[in-house]
Structure 1
Amino acid sequence: MFIILSILVLIAAMNITSGLIMLVKNKGRDIGILRTVGLTEGSVLRVFFLCGTFTGVIGTAMGVVLGCMFAIWIDPIFSFVNYVAGGGVWDPSIRGIYNLPAKLQLVDVLKAAGLSLGLSFVVTILPARRAARMNPVEALRYE
């Protein structure tokens, strides 16, 4: 399960990267203007790194809270889905699974949160460096 979870977290981290790359492309003119008025490369790097980091931290926090709530209340959620769908959503005779076990352990939650935070920090570096190294003359040339 941890391998599957890791793959899902990696996909989410790549979404952070693609979002930041698009943000850097869309804000190229603004970055160029800020650089020409004296903003340093390090400052631009920090701005975009913080943007990606906050996205990762907020996503991780929401994922931990919602995941723990789902694991704790799996049976009432399952009953509600069965009720809304009119019953028979999960036919145990077909799947051979008669209950959905959910065992919540602090170590597993901490591993998943650490992996998510670590990956979000790492994948944020590339777009932030790209924004910081943007040449202000090139960014403003066609504007």
Structure 2
Amino acid sequence: MTHKHHGLSIGINRVNERFFVSLKAQGTLTHRDYETITPMLDTALAAVNDPTIRIMIDGSEFEGWELQAAWDDLKLGLKHGSEIERIAIYGNSQWQHWVARIASWFIAGEVRFFDNYIDALDWLCDNKADAANQ
């Protein structure tokens, strides 16, 4: 029997003193996935004390969205876009690079695409940029 995995995994991670929300997208996301995951993500983001949030998205197994799910994703970005300081998108497809560029139009913070997970993590957790901005 073949199983086709799809959906989002959510976590709160910490590297040194930097906390961030981690998301791993797998397969093709559906509207039903967003109906399940949106309340979880809202709860996870509400639990973060800092008014600015950093997010790591692992899209290495992500294939895309159904049409309604793409709309759900846009609504989610608009809802939380002002709270987001940085989003690092780790993936392996050129179209994901373009998704990162488009996402930056709807997010107050920075969005960058990386094809190397360690580079994405280094940028996401970079505290030097924080000190320079203060």
> Structure 1-normalised TM-score?
0.24
Q: Which has the higher contact order (CA 8 A, sep 6+)?
A: 1
Which of the pair has more CA radius of gyration?
1
Q: Of Structure 1 and Structure 2, which has the larger fraction of its residues in strand?
A: 2
